[in-house]
Amino acid sequence: MNLVETLDKILNSLARRQKEVINQRFGLKTTPKTLAQLGEKYGVTRERVRQIEAAALKVLRKSVEEHQQLKKSFELIVNYLENLGGTRRVEFLTEDVRLLLKDPQISLSHLELLFAIFKKPMLFLETKDFHSFWYLSPTSLKDNQEFVKKLLQFLKNKKEDVIEKKQFDYLFYQVIKTHSLKDFAALNFVQNSKKFAVNPFGDFGLTEWREILPKTVRDKSYLVLKKKREPMHFREIAQEINKTKFDIRRAHPQTVHNELIKDPRFVLVGRGLYSLREFGIIPGTTREILKKILKAKGPLPLNKVVEMVSQQRVLKHNTILLNLANRKHFKKSPDGMYRVA
């Protein structure tokens, strides 16, 4: 007999009103109801409903002794949680238990009732820093919170090491060693926290890093260009943002263009085409780019000038020639070398 069938069976040991209250409080047959809602429905106080619920759970705890399979299922879940450090995010544990007990009908409501009967694990309600998660004891709760705090402090100023140098595994292990945790238990602790996330490109890091959780169109555009590593038209950038689905908000091409113009991280390299300054792209007009290159490198033949300018801008060959033909700014020596006038 599976978990859902067993719970249904032991509910039959309850008085009618007790069974109704349990079903409605835990949402086994419908949406979960509050004490106040049930009090209004039955014309009694919230406290009276709470007493009926408490009495029903007491009866169910006695019924468990006659259902060893239910106790075995519960013990299997507890052992699973212990291997994960004693905690597990609410939605993750529901899916895990379905696989563990090979019962796809198991819902959060069934687990809540099971845990209420056995009085553990307890539920940690969602906060601004943590998702809702189950915990076996005050010790496991404290372990989870302390590990997250330690990891957060350790990684806070190591963004480049984590994102650019891909050293998260090494850094993560340094913190694990100080807590004597198994790596999968430590990763489970991290999943309970809202302080860490994985971006759509698979990069792990702190949610406060805009490379991990970009909130503005500018930051999304920056991340798209950084991953693409080649010039993109602002319309293409908008399409890529929407395709990547950072969030439910859609990016509009004109909005993207307006944001790119304002931000010095982006450099216009062609008609509507942008790249990133951090890639070594020099801001400025074609003439200014030519001057900077020739001043830095000295006289150069035409083919070398075209090659170096093409690394900076998406331009037609004739556009470069027309700029070089301006004798006020550039000179061509008899041997075909160009320099700044």
Determine the Cα–Cα distance for residues 134 and 112; give it in Å rounded to an integer.
10
Rg (CA), the chain: 31
Sign of CA dihedral 65, 94, 208, 280: positive
pLDDT at 282: 84
Determine the Cα–Cα distance for residues 57 and 48; give it in Å rounded to an integer.
14
pLDDT at 1: 59
pLDDT at 178: 83
pLDDT at 226: 94
Indicate the residue among 170, 187, 206 that finishes a domain.
206
Which residue range is the domain that position 292 belongs to? 286-340
Does some domain include residue 126? no
pLDDT at 60: 94
Question: Distance between terminal CA atoms of the chain?
Answer: 90
Residues 221 and 293 in one domain: no
Indicate the residue among 156, 179, 206 that finishes a domain.
206
Beta bridge partners of 331: 339
Does some domain include residue 111? yes
Does some domain include residue 169? yes
Q: What is the pLDDT of residues 241-280, one digit of tens each?
A: 999 999 999 999 999 999 999 999 999 998 899 999 999 8
Q: Give φ, ψ of 198 to 5 degrees.
A: -115, 130
Residues 34 and 109 in one domain: yes
Q: What is the pLDDT of residues 86-133, one digit of tens each?
A: 999 999 999 999 999 999 999 999 999 999 999 999 999 999 999 999
| Count of beta carbons in the 10 Å neighbourhood of residue 230 | 10
Does some domain include residue 92? no
Q: What is the pLDDT of residues 68-84, one digit of tens each?
A: 889 999 999 999 999 99
Determine the Cα–Cα distance for residues 237 and 165; give it in Å rounded to an integer.
25
Of the candidates 184, 185, 208, 186, which has an alpha carbon nearest to the alpha carbon of residue 196? 208
Does some domain include residue 331? yes
pLDDT at 284: 85
pLDDT at 98: 95
Give the confidence band of 199 by pLDDT, cuts at 50, 70, 90.
very high
Q: What is the pLDDT of residues 163-193, one digit of tens each?
A: 989 999 899 998 998 878 888 999 999 999 9
Beta bridge partners of 267: 275
Residues 152 and 250 in one domain: no
Beta bridge partners of 270: 273
Does some domain include residue 127? no
Indicate the residue among 185, 206, 227 that finishes a domain.
206
Lookup: tokens for 232:
């993109």
Number of structural domains, the chain? 4
Q: What is the pLDDT of residues 21-57, one digit of tens each?
A: 999 999 998 899 999 999 999 999 999 999 999 999 9
pTM, two decimals, is 0.79
Whether residue 234 contacts residue 263, with contact meaning beta carbons closer than 8 Å, is answered with no
HEC-encoded secondary structure of the chain:
CCHHHHHHHHHCCCCHHHHHHHHHHHCCCCCCCCHHHHHHHHCCCHHHHHHHHHHHHHHHHHHHCCCHHHHHHHHHHHHHHHHCCCEEEHHHHHHHHHHHCCCCCCCHHHHHHHHHHHCCCEEECCCCCECCEEECCHHHHHHHHHHHHHHHHHHCCCHHHHHHCCCHHHHHHHHHHHHCCCHHHHHHHHHHECCEEECCCCCEEECCCCCCCCCCHHHHHHHHHHHHCCCEEHHHHHHHHHHHCCCCCCCCHHHHHHHHHHCCCEEEEECCEEEEHHHCCCCCCHHHHHHHHHHHHCCEEHHHHHHHHHCCCCCCHHHHHHHHCCCCCEEECCCCEEEEC
- What does 166-193 look like in DSSP terms, one character per residue? --HHHHHHHHHHHHT--HHHHHHHHHHB
Residues 267 and 174 in one domain: no
Residues 115 and 16 in one domain: yes
Whether 281 has a pLDDT exceeding 70, the answer reads yes
Q: What is the pLDDT of residues 295-332, one digit of tens each?
A: 989 999 999 988 998 888 888 888 888 889 988 999 99
Whether 283 has a pLDDT exceeding 90, the answer reads no
Residues 77 and 169 in one domain: no
Does some domain include residue 97? no
CATH number of the domain at 294, please.
1.10.10
